[in-house]
Each structure stands twice: as C-alpha cells, then as structure tokens.
Amino acid sequence: EVQLVESGGGLVKPGESLRLSCAASGFTFSNAWMNWVRQAPGKGLEWVGRVKTKTDGGTADCAAPVKGRFTISRDDSKNTLYMQMNSLKIEDTGIYYCSTRIGDHWGQGTLVTVSS
C-alpha cells in the first residue's frame, strides 16, 4: 500500500523557517517525481513545486510565489521528500501536501501557520 506521510508543520512567525518532510512507502520512491501542493484556508489547490528523479537530473522547480524562499530536495536512501521554507510570509499559511507526479497518491497534509 502506498503511503505518504507529511510532517514538520507548525506555527511560526513571519520571516522564520520550517522544514517539511514527506515519508514515502509502498512504491519505488527513487523512481518517482514528487510534488508539493498547498491549500490556503478556504482556498483552492496551489502547485508549490516538484523534484525530478536522480535519473532525470534530480532538479527541483518551484512556483513563482515561493521561488528563492523554498527549496525542494529528496533523500532516496530514506525514501523522504523535503521542502525547506525560509522567509515565511503570512500568505504561506495553509495545508501542505506531498503527492506523486500525477497525483495518484497524496499524503494527509501538514498545517503551516505563519502569524505574528
């Protein structure tokens, strides 16, 4: 059974940092491009970024609102996806999901709240 379990969310002040993790199991993680998607309270889904497999270059790309502040990485030896979030803003508040490339599997999400 495929499982994605996010962790690392919490309450932080504007300008602070957080690192989210997504532990994967039940599939060959190293063969999977992975996404981060977020959802602000009462709003729609927003693509945050994704990382390719090492075979495909291992590069990560992020959406414009977070580019330069968020960094996505992966550790295939630990079957874990990460997202380092720096210089957090109030508008970064929301539930953060990790998902597989086409979204056939999602985690349950982790809540990030940025508030002074």
Would you count residue 104 as binding another protein (CB under 8 A)? yes
Site string for another protein, 6-45 (x = CB under 8 A): -----------------------------x-x------xx
- Which CB sits closer to another protein, 14 or 103? 103
Q: Which of 24, 34, 50, 81: binder of another protein (CB under 8 A)?
A: 50
Q: Name the phi and psi angles at 92, rounded to 5.
A: -85, -5
For residue 32, what is the DSSP state?
-
The vertex-35 CA angle with 30 and 38, nearest 5°, equals: 150
- As measured in angstroms, the least distance from the Cβ of 18 to another protein is 20
Residue with tokens 């977020």, as numbered in its chain: 38
Name the strands in the sheet holding 60-62, side by side, starting at the edge strand that comes first in the sequence: 10-12, 110-114, 94-100, 34-39, 45-51, 60-62
Piece of the chain touching another protein by CB under 8 A; list 9-17, 19-27, 46-54, 75-83: 46-54
Piece of the chain touching another protein by CB under 8 A; list 14-22, 70-78, 81-89, 101-109: 101-109
